[in-house]
């Protein structure tokens, strides 16, 4: 989901070696290739023949997805902070990724600062790194008041960031953190506007999944509104939003959802949505409601 395609940035050639460079003695003999990108490539024998530099430069996700966890944890906090300031966006992105993996609570404040970076791929990585670091910090009871700082910073991302992928990641992380201060801001994301809904399909699905984790009944009306806002015969990207809304209504289990679940039985554009509606009704509604819909339910169940 990271908006990094087309990135032609080349990592600074004087970028210092990572601590793990000892894994490959070639790095000591090739000072011109001792920056962090070449270090990773040479150390793990990807080789320049396997992946040309141009391809790597155009798609930093290739690099980010192949950096092992232990390699990232070997990076030094001070080194990452130093190189994050003033580096090009590929270097900044990798430094932000490293800050999320080194298991050092000191990284929280610089990561929050990176949420204001001008490049969306840096902000996106900063959100994910805050999620990784927060999860580790909670497991070891190390966060304390810093949980609030992370939550507040991510709520600001929901309100202000123009990149939908960055906002989707923020919603996901806030759902995992589970702080109730995030419920209302997350619900606000679901409010319809004039933007064509298919552009927000992934954001809305991530938002719905986050609300399910909270299980808060305040989400019922917004979920119903989203389902009804998107027509059944709309763009295929939107079918997943309607399906996610129906499944969320089942999970929360509030009777206010019954009417819209009955409506979902008529959504012949998506058999998955219809089947999810049947499951939800059987969980939430009483027998008289199920009986009144039995003809439709039988027709749907005959479809393979």
Q: Which of 135, 164, 189 is the last residue of a domain?
A: 189
User: Do 75 and 31 sit in the same domain of this protein?
Assistant: yes
pLDDT tens-digit series, residues 227-244: 988 877 777 777 889 999
User: Do 267 and 136 sit in the same domain of this protein?
Assistant: no
User: Do 113 and 183 sit in the same domain of this protein?
Assistant: yes
As a whole number of angstroms, the distance between CA 38 and CA 44 comes to 10
Does residue 201 sit within a domain? no
User: Do 185 and 214 sit in the same domain of this protein?
Assistant: no
pLDDT tens-digit series, residues 177-193: 999 999 999 999 987 56
User: Do 158 and 264 sit in the same domain of this protein?
Assistant: no
Chain-centre distance of CA 22, in angstroms?
A: 34
CATH number at residue 111: 1.25.10
Specify the pLDDT at position 127. 96
pLDDT tens-digit series, residues 134-182: 888 777 676 677 888 999 999 999 999 999 999 999 999 999 999 999 9
Q: Which of 189, 216, 240 is the last residue of a domain?
A: 189
Q: Which of 116, 199, 210 is nearest to 165 (CA)?
A: 199
Contact of 84 with 96, CB cutoff 8 Å: yes
CATH number at residue 297: 1.25.10.10
What do you get for the CA distance between the two ends of the chain, in Å?
A: 33
- Please give the structure tokens belonging to residue 90: 């590929």
- The residue segments making up the domain with residue 177 are 1-189
User: Do 161 and 260 sit in the same domain of this protein?
Assistant: no
As a whole number of angstroms, the distance between CA 146 and CA 160 comes to 21
User: Do 160 and 90 sit in the same domain of this protein?
Assistant: yes
Contact of 243 with 270, CB cutoff 8 Å: yes
């Amino acid at each position: 989901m990271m908006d990094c395609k087309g990135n032609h940035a080349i990592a600074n050639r004087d970028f210092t070696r990572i601590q793990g460079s000892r894994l490959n003695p070639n790095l000591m003999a090739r000072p011109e290739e001792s920056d962090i990108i070449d270090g990773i490539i040479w150390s793990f024998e990807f080789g320049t023949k396997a992946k040309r530099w141009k391809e790597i430069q155009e798609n930093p996700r290739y690099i980010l997805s192949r950096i092992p966890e232990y390699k990232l944890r070997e990076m030094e906090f001070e080194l990452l902070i130093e190189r994050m300031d003033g580096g090009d966006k590929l270097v900044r992105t990798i430094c932000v990724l490293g800050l999320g993996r080194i298991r050092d609570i000191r990284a929280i404040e610089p990561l929050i600062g990176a949420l204001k970076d001008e490049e969306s791929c840096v902000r996106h990585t900063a959100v994910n790194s805050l999620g990784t670091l927060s999860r580790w910090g909670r497991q070891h009871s190390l966060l304390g008041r810093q949980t609030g700082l992370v939550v507040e910073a991510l709520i600001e991302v929901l309100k202000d960031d123009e990149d939908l992928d960055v906002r989707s990641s923020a919603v996901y992380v806030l759902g995992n953190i589970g702080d109730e201060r995030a419920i209302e801001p997350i619900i606000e994301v679901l409010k319809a506007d004039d933007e064509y809904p298919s552009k927000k399909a992934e954001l809305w699905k991530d938002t719905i999944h986050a609300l399910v984790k909270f299980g808060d009944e305040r989400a019922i009306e917004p979920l119903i509104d989203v389902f009804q806002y998107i027509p059944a015969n709309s763009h295929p990207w939107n079918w997943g939003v309607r399906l996610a809304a129906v499944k969320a209504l089942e999970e929360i289990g509030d009777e206010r959802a019954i009417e819209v679940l009955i409506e979902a039985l008529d959504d012949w554009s998506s058999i998955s949505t219809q089947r999810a509606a049947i499951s939800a009704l059987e969980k939430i509604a009483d027998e008289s409601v199920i009986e009144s819909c039995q003809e439709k339910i039988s027709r749907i169940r005959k479809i393979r």
